[in-house]
Structure 1
Amino acid sequence: METHHIRLTSSEVGSLWANYMADSMFVCVYQYYLAKVEDSEIKKVLEHALDLAQQHVQVVTKIFKEEGHAIPLGFTENDVNVKAPRLFSDAFFLFFTKQMTKGALVTYGAMLPHTFRNDIREHFMSCISSAMELLNDTTNVLLSKGIEVRSPYIPYLQEVDMVEKQHFLAGWWGKQRPLIAAEITHLFSNIQTNHMGSAVITGFAQVVKAKDVQNYFIRGKEISKKQIEVFSKYLHENDLPAPVTWDAQVQDITESPFSDKIMLYIISLMNAAGMGNYGAAISASPRRDIGAVYVRLLGEIGLYAEDGINLQIKHAWLERPPHAADREKLMK
């Protein structure tokens, strides 16, 4: 029978460390959101999100202490100012929560298969279960308020039909086949994600203190805008609607509720999520032209993300993740 004293593996340590970093950030974010929210239904969702983030931080802290592993610095009360004016609307708090919860489900799902100790598996299974519950609560409130953005409708299939021609994969020249449901899903979802990123980065660019970080945010907004146009073109060519922007949910204030460090970290998480989304979209998009577009835009985000990491290093904001032993250094 497995016992608790078995050492954590590299994948377990890495997953727990990433879990702590992200949720210590979410604790700061939701403390600020709760200080500003006015809608009682949305407030309950935000309280739920904060409670989950605090639980995860506590669990990881306990495990690391028992293992004699250093507790990450992560993010603290020094990274949030709950007294700052409102930067985003109540509706934005809800949109943000749903997008972050969708990302959490993907992240936890990727972490779980690489955990082995029973207590670690139970932790990430609990994370998945609670994220599903939060996603459900968030969606219900969005629907009840009439602000949920549904993906496009397409006709039901009336009969089974087999693909008979290679044209199914075509897309470079000439007449192209209609988008399939999976392609529509990913195009629509990636437009939504970019709209969310654009709104977040618009607010951050207004309040950030470091000029080089502000320039980085402005560049990110331009990238999002361009990629939204690319994806929307495919939907419009098939007479399908594209999601609208959320920039109107950003208030015109300049006093920052967050440290530059935490804002840059949030954008780095969104970059990573975007790259993961595009990778999944490539595998679900048989049309060659669509796959090629995702590959090109994935490279663009990758270069942008690298520049963000360089900024974190420059300002001494990048905490070193758990890593393998440097044997050469040890033998000197």
Structure 2
Amino acid sequence: MTNKTKMSSAELGALWMTYHKKTMILRMLEYFIEKADDEEAKNLMSGLWEQLHSKVTVMETMFQNEGAALPEGFTKEDVNLDAPMLWENGFDILFSRILKEISTGMYALHLSISYKEDIVQFYKQLSEITETYYNQFTQYLLEKSFLPRPNFITMPKSIDFITDNQYMKGTNILGHKRPLNTIEFGVLYRALENNIIGTQLMKGFAQCAKDKDVQKYFTKGMVLSQEIKKEIEGILLKDNIQPPSSSGGTVTSSTIAPFSERLMMFCNFLLGSFSLGGQGFSATFLWRNDVTTKIGAQGKDILGYTREGLVLMMDKGWLEEPPKMEL
């Protein structure tokens, strides 16, 4: 197979989605870099911007070589660098880290439907960039005390095997629930961490949105994130596990939007889709039935909310259509 091989429909769809996500991230990074009050954070985000900008150029060449129309994606018109700081206290890196977490999952999916050698190598390179910056963002946040580490436990001194299916029921004859295992805790911790940041993101978006329908939608998203956060904290507290509390990522009083409402809606769609995908995958590792039931109900709520956002974007004329399957 050579690079002269025609790009498949699946590869075109993957690149189309990647182009939208990458141009969105570039616009958001441009605002965060402009408002950064920490030199180390600014340098980290600037380095990521340079790497991703070059990859957007590569994608544009790929589209051009195939004779495919270049997606609009997100342009300089979608960011307002003069807008005051909307988030502070490390939110720029906290959210950039979430974006890299989303990218990790998306590249795994896109690699699995890519066969053309140059596209495979393209996603491998993007994956390497993502892994590098995800770690750098994490270490920065830990050093600045913006990101708490997961809880510690006493290390096990022996192994055991599950021989009773009551383990899945999670409740013994006296009605006492078994403690969460460390795998279940890891799944819940990730969801809790993401919803803490998601709440702040939605609060900021709702605060600066001018369109009443969009403002109402973001407010609904903020409430949903808060409810999910509260439910997960409740599960942990019942097991005498203290939930983490991030000291970073607060919203200022600004009501001037740094991004277009179209970009903010697309960003929200990505987060919802990522949350659904993550929950679907993680649910298989939740073996206590009461926890699985709650996570399943949350997934249904997130799906309904995300679909509502798609309809709203269509109503506003903000949803760019992916390439059609025209043979």
TM-score by length of 1: 0.94
Question: Residues 172 and 224 (structure 1 numbering): CA distance in 2 closer, same or farther, change over 3 Å?
Answer: farther
Which residue number corresponds to residue 330 of structure 1?
none
Q: How does 1:180-329 map to 2 (within 5 A)?
A: 180-244=181-245, 249-325=250-326
1:10-57 CA-to-partner distances (Å, cap 9, x unmatched) read 221111111100010011101111110011111111112212321221
Q: How does 1:113-128 map to 2 (within 5 A)?
A: 113-128=112-127
The answer to whether the Cα contact below 8 Å between 2:148 and 2:246 also exists between their aligned partners in 1 is no
Moved over 4 A (4+): 245-248
Tell me if the contact between 1:202 and 1:247 (Cα under 8 Å) persists in the aligned partners: no
The residue that corresponds to 1:99 in the other structure is: 98
Size of the alignment, in residue pairs? 325
**How many angstroms apart in 2 are the aligned matches of 1:169 and 1:56?**
46
Tell me whether 244-253 or 283-292 shows the greater mean CA deviation.
Answer: 244-253
Structure 1: where are the runs of 5+ without partners? 328-332
For 2:222 and 2:248, the matched residues in 1 are separated by 11
- Aligned match of 1:83: 82
RMSD of Structure 2 on Structure 1 (CA): 1.5
2:92 aligned with 1:131: no
2:18 partner amino acid: N
The 8 Å contact of residues 91 and 249 in structure 2, kept in 1 or not, is answered as: no
Indicate if the aligned counterparts of 1:172 and 1:289 stay in contact, CA closer than 8 A.
Answer: no
Preserved contact between residue 272 and residue 306 of structure 2 (Cα < 8 Å)? yes
CA distance, structure 2, for counterparts of residue 248 and residue 18 of structure 1: 28
Tell me, yes or no, if the aligned pair for 1:24 and 1:74 is still in contact at 8 Å: yes
CA contact under 8 A between 2:89 and 2:249: conserved in structure 1?
no
Note the C-alpha offset of 1:172. 6.5
2:81 partner amino acid: V
| Cα distance in 2, alignment partners of residues 27 and 248 from structure 1 | 20
The 3 A distance-change label for structure 1 pair 22 and 203 is same
Distance 1:111 1:243 in 2: 33
Residues 131-187 of structure 1, C-alpha deviations (whole Å, 9 max, x = no match): 011011111211222222211112211101111211111136821111111110111
Task: Spell out, residue by residue over 1:278-319, the C-alpha distance to the aligned partner (whole angstroms, 9 max, x if none).
Answer: 112211111112112111111111110111001100110000
Q: Secondary structure at the match of 1:70?
A: coil
Q: Is the 8 A contact 2:208 2:254 kept in 1?
A: yes
Could you tell me whether the CA contact under 8 Å between 2:86 and 2:251 is conserved in 1?
Answer: yes
**Shift of residue 88, structure 1, vs aligned partner:** 1.1
Q: What SS is found at the alignment partner of 1:178?
A: coil
Work out whether 1:34 is the aligned partner of 2:39: no
Structure 1: how far apart are the matches of 2:133 and 2:111?
Answer: 19
Give distance in 1, aligned partners of 2:58 and 2:290. 45
Q: Which amino acid in structure 2 is aligned with residue 227 of structure 1?
A: I
1:248 deviates by: 5.9
Paired letter, 1:308: G
Corresponding residue of 2:46: 47
Structure 2 gaps, min length 5? none
Q: Give the TM-score normalised by the residue count of structure 2.
A: 0.96
* Cα deviation 1:211-243 (Å, max 9, x = unaligned): 000000111111111111111111111121213
Query: Do the aligned partners of residues 308 and 164 (structure 1) sit closer, same or farther apart at CA in structure 2, a change above 3 Å counting?
Result: same
The one-letter amino acid paired with 1:257 is P
Mapped contact 2:283–2:292 kept (Cα < 8 A): yes
**What is the DSSP-based 3-state SS (H/G/I as helix, E as strand, rest coil) of the residue aligned with 2:204?**
helix
In the TM superposition, residue 127 of structure 1 has moved relative to its aligned partner by 0.6
Kept in 2: contact 1:309–1:318 (CA 8 A):
yes
Q: Which moved more, 1:310-319 or 1:278-287?
A: 278-287
For the 8 Å contact 2:279–2:295, the answer to whether it is kept is: yes
1:57 aligns with 2:56: yes
Q: Distance in 1 between matches of 2:34 and 2:234?
A: 39
Cα displacement (A) at 1:261? 0.5
SS of aligned partner of 1:17: helix
Mapped to 2, the partners of 1:77 and 1:16 lie a distance apart of: 21
Identity over aligned pairs, percent: 27
Question: For 1:145 and 1:257, how far apart are their aligned partners in 2?
Answer: 25
Tell me, in whole angstroms, the C-alpha distance in 1 between the residues paired with 2:322 and 2:12: 9
Amino acid at match of 1:309: L
**TM-superposition CA deviations, 1:74-133 (whole Å, max 9, x none):** 100111010111111150011111111111111111211211010000000001111011
The residue aligned with 1:179 is 180
* Cα distance, 1:245 vs structure 2: 5.7
- In the alignment, is the contact (CA less than 8 A) between 1:32 and 1:81 conserved in 2? yes
1: distance between equivalents of 2:300 and 2:65?
A: 41
Distance 1:133 1:108 in 2: 14
1:247, distance to aligned residue in structure 2 (A): 8.2
Amino acid aligned to 1:282: A
Distance 1:35 1:99 in 2: 20
